[in-house]
Chain A
Amino acid sequence: MIARATKTVVPRKPRARRSLYLQYLVEPFAYLSPAIVLIGTVILIPLIIGISYSFQSIELLRPFNSGWVGFENYLALWTDKKFWIALENTFFWTFWSVVLQFLLGLGLALLLNTRFWGKRLFQALVFLPWAVPTFLSALTWAWLFNPVIGPLPHWLASLGILSEPDNILGDPELAIWGPILANIWFGVPFFAITLLAALQSIPGELYEAAEIDGASGWQSFCKITLPFLAPMIAITVMLRTIWIANFADLIYVMTGGGPANSTQILSTYIFTTAFRKLDFGYASTIAVALLLILLVYSGIVLWLRKKLIKI
């Protein structure tokens, strides 16, 4: 036994030193290479090609009109009224979706962090909407909002919120709330899951200590829970904002951007420009604009997170 042990230890010494270099230079990249190759070929290269489209005219309906056009698409964007409407709608749609998803998700996470009867089943059922294919949830919600065969307009009317069972999705003032409601339904579980995870990693002793010191429930929520959740909140709010701003499926299926562009957001505008008008150059230009806005936004969030949380 002893002989064997020394046998293995002695020749290992020089190898260990060499492998130290290997370990820090080569080994991580060995693990990362499949991910890097896939992301590089499937996302980054097409992304660069896509950005280059925004400086070209690529209209499948006018094939002889193609070629490099410099910043022409961007100038067209600047004077495109539809773009500015869609931008405003994107802000509205993203802001209300994120805020309401976050508040409801936080409430659900706080509830799930307490003890109650049947919690396991409850948690599984409440998280279900996240597993429903978006296309299907859009159709279901469109059905629920249908003024003839859907229950929601009738219920709202009998509650006195609507004067009569109107078509909410056909009303330019209200239409955007249809997809927003569907989006809230779909997105609350994601916030609840991530926030619940963060809640569960807060050490319980902190609350006990606070209770002994006579803190009220509200005080310990503000002084313990929120500061502990803050990093997770910053990350999830940022990710969700980006996903939601890019999320065209619900609106596209439920309203198609109408009525009168009142629910047209940038990502649905990109979709219709690319696949209805077949104008890929201009569609890429809108996409680049959206990408830049989101980059600035995430930069601000990450900067705020660094500033606020290090203290």
Chain B
Amino acid sequence: MSAVLRRRPAVAIAKYAALAGYLAFALFPLYWLIKIAITPDALIYTEGTQLLPSSVTFDNFAKVILQTDFMAYFGNSLYVSLGTAAVTTLVAAAAGYAFSRFDFAGKKLLIAVMLITQMFPLLMIIAPIYKIISQMGMLNSLTSLIVVYTAFNIPFATFLMQSFFDGIPKDLEEAAMMDGCSRFQALYKVVFPLTLPGLGATLGFVFTAAWSELLFALMLISKNDAMTFPVGLLTFVSKFSVDWGQMMAAGVLALVPSCLFFIFIQRYLVQGLTSGAVKG
């Protein structure tokens, strides 16, 4: 490919132009979010369409952190997302392993059921779930959020883990088992180290999904001290006369964990999908 580029500079220029275009498209809205967050309130409207604000302030961040419940929301979100990511990855790894290594009665049916769970509008089951959870007295509990999020993330995480396991040759564990390892030992000593990138990718994927979930959090949580950050962010819109600067500052802060997570895992995500991608 690079040989082609050396021969044809026009292609190289077009390629870098395309790269620049993608980069600008991806980052521009994020830049604007940050820009609004650091623009002083007085200038938000007058300098709305300028690319650079004439002065910069970090007041909004200070206010959000010190004067609002944002840090509590942030903590709740962190707890829920980490909990969901950990439980989902564990459950999905076990299920993905079963799909990857065994042929058993009902396998196709199970895969079809998992596919169907991706298919219907979530709104349809929010009312029944609300009813069930309120009857169990589990409203406003972060644990119930973790359980619900885990269930919804299992199907995709399972497919992801399955493709990671598919990428690890079966011979490796079989060899270990021949040498006297039990299946579990083979799993722990041979397969587990090899799936670490896969586990990382699944963790990150589920974390970002749970981090931004709004619908269930909105329905199941109404107490202020149990709110996750998207719900909390929504209270910025409704409770106060929309304070855009603060809201965007809160948004920027909320972006930090999911973006950091994602920057670390995206390579593994590609790697993991590569191994199992073209099968089936």
A residues with a Cβ closer than 8 A to B are: 8, 23-25, 27-29, 31-32, 34-36, 38-39, 41-47, 49-51, 53, 104, 107-108, 111, 114-116, 120, 122-137, 139-141, 143-144, 146, 148-151, 154, 185, 188-189, 193-194, 196-198, 200-202, 217, 228, 231-232, 239, 242-243, 246, 248-249, 266-267, 270-271, 274, 280, 283-284, 287-288, 290-291, 294-295, 298
Contacts and interface: CB of A to CB of B under 8 A. Distances in A.
Given A44-B113, A291-B121, A201 B148 contact: no
Nearest to A9: B180
B258 A43 contact: no
Contacts of A108: 22
Contact of A201 (B18, B36, B278): B278
B143 interface: no
A148 B48 contact: yes
A47 B30 CA distance: 37
B117 to A, nearest CB: 5
A200 B278 CA distance: 10
B240 interface: no
Interface string B113-150: 11111111111111111011000000000000001101
A42 B133 CA distance: 10
Contacts of B15: 111, 114, 116
B117 A28 contact: no
Contact of B26 (A24, A128, A140, A266): A128
B194 interface: no
Contacts of B158: 35
Interface string B212-241: 101100000000000000100110000000
B91 to A, nearest CB: 5
B9 interface: no
Interface residues of B, number: 95
A136 B127 contact: no
B259 interface: yes
Main secondary structure of the interface of A (DSSP, over half): helix
A249 B216 CA distance: 12
Given A25-B104, A197-B273, A31 B152 contact: no
Contact of A198 (B244, B266, B271, B277): B277
Nearest to A302: B115
Main SS at interface, chain B? helix
Nearest to B36: A143
Contacts of A128: 26-27, 30, 259, 262-263
A266 to B, nearest CB: 8
A50 B128 contact: yes
Given A24-B102, A111-B19, A136 B208 contact: no
A297 B259 CA distance: 34
A249 B3 CA distance: 46
B120 A294 contact: yes
A294 B119 contact: yes
Given A38-B147, A232-B278, A249-B214, A150 B267 contact: no
Given A144-B32, A249-B214, A136 B94 contact: no
Given A47-B128, A270-B121, 4 more contacts: A34-B90, A49-B131, A149-B49, A197-B274
Contacts of A126: 22-23, 26
Contacts of B129: 42, 46
A135 B212 contact: yes
B85 interface: no
Contacts of B244: 143
Contacts of A124: 263, 266-267
A178 to B, nearest CB: 12
Contacts of B102: 23-24, 27-28
Interface in B161-177: none
Nearest to A5: B180
Contacts of A24: 102-104
A137 B45 contact: no
A197 to B, nearest CB: 3
A135 B230 contact: yes
Nearest to B11: A217
A135 B233 contact: yes
Nearest to B259: A131
B251 interface: yes
A116 B20 CA distance: 12
A141 B25 CA distance: 12
A39 B212 contact: no
A249 B121 CA distance: 12
Given A130-B208, A130-B262, A148-B48, A136 B123 contact: no
B48 A150 contact: yes
Contact of A267 (B26, B27, B118, B123): B123
A25 B98 CA distance: 11
B18 A35 contact: no
Given A122-B19, A196-B270, A232-B278, A274 B119 contact: no
A266 B32 CA distance: 31
B164 to A, nearest CB: 11
B104 A29 contact: yes
A280 B105 CA distance: 38
Contacts of B230: 133, 135-136
B33 interface: yes
Nearest to A114: B1
B212 A50 contact: no
